[in-house]
Structure 1
Amino acid sequence: MIQVAAAIIHNEEGQLLIARRRQGKSQAGLWEFPGGKIEQDESIADCLQRELHEEMGITILPYESFGVNEHNYGSVEIRLFAWKARYLGGVIELVDHDEYRWVFPAALGQFTFAPADIPFVERLMVGADQV
């Protein structure tokens, strides 16, 4: 099972950062909360800070767990750790994605998310856990 971290990043307006996987990547065309694989002996917070710097050129501050979801994609099974994070700065430059948006939680349903992210999307949309 692959250990993966996802950042539920919010800005000062309460919007969340979502990104669409580019063609040629697994889950291409689907939206997700950005993140990546957790390296051996790496904390989730360290993974998210590294991945968001590498993949988007931004600085974030992960501060609280939002939950864990396991999903079997058939060829690979992942354990996805979602963490809330604050956007601290940087200009977004996409590497693994072809588009990004800042959206309010209520608008998340307008996007087609990767299956592993859906439980987090649903929680955010009903307001059970405000970011």
Structure 2
Amino acid sequence: MIEVAAAIIHNAEGQILIARRREGKSQAGLWEFPGGKLEDGEEVPDCLRRELMEEMSIVIHPYAAFGVNEHDYGGFKIRLIAWKAELLEGQIRLSDHDAFRWVAANELDAFAFAPADLPFVHRLLDPLQ
């Protein structure tokens, strides 16, 4: 099973950052909470700081675990570990994605998300879950 970290990043206005996977990637065209694979022995907050700098050129502060979801994509299984994070600095420059948006939580259901991210979308849409 592949362990992947995802950041639910909010900005000063309370909007959440989502990104669309570019052509040629698994789940291309679907939206996700940005992040990436954990390296051996790496802690989730460290992974998220590294991945967001590499993939988007931004500095974030992961501050709280949000949830874990395991998903079987057929050819591979992932354990997606989500953390809430705040944007500290940087202008977004994309390398692994072809688009990004800052959206309010109640707008998330307007986007087609990768299946592993959907439980987190539902939780953000209905915080009482």
Taking only the aligned residue pairs, the percentage that are identical comes to 66
Query: Aligned residue for 2:28?
Result: 28
Distance of 2:77 and 2:14 partners within structure 1: 32
Does residue 1:9 correspond to 2:9, yes or no? Answer: yes
Matches within 5 A, 1:11-90: 11-90=11-90
Superposed displacement of residue 127, structure 1 = 2.8
Matches within 5 A, 1:100-119: 100-119=100-119
Structure 1: give runs of 5+ residues left out of the alignment: none
Structure 2: give runs of 5+ residues left out of the alignment: none
Distance of 1:55 and 1:76 partners within structure 2: 23
| Number of aligned residue pairs | 129
C-alpha change, 1:87 and 1:128, in structure 2 (3 Å) is: farther
The letter of the residue matching 1:83 is: W
Distance of 2:103 and 2:64 partners within structure 1: 20
Output the TM-score relative to the length of structure 2.
Answer: 0.98
Cα deviation digits, residues 89-118 of structure 1 (max 9, x gap): 101000010000000000000000000000
1:84 aligned counterpart, secondary structure: strand
Give the ranges of 4+ consecutive aligned residues of structure 1 lying more than 6 Å apart after TM superposition. Answer: none
Superposed displacement of residue 126, structure 1 = 1.2
The letter of the residue matching 1:24 is: G
- Alignment RMSD: 0.8
1:45 aligned counterpart, secondary structure: helix
Distance of 1:41 and 1:128 partners within structure 2: 33
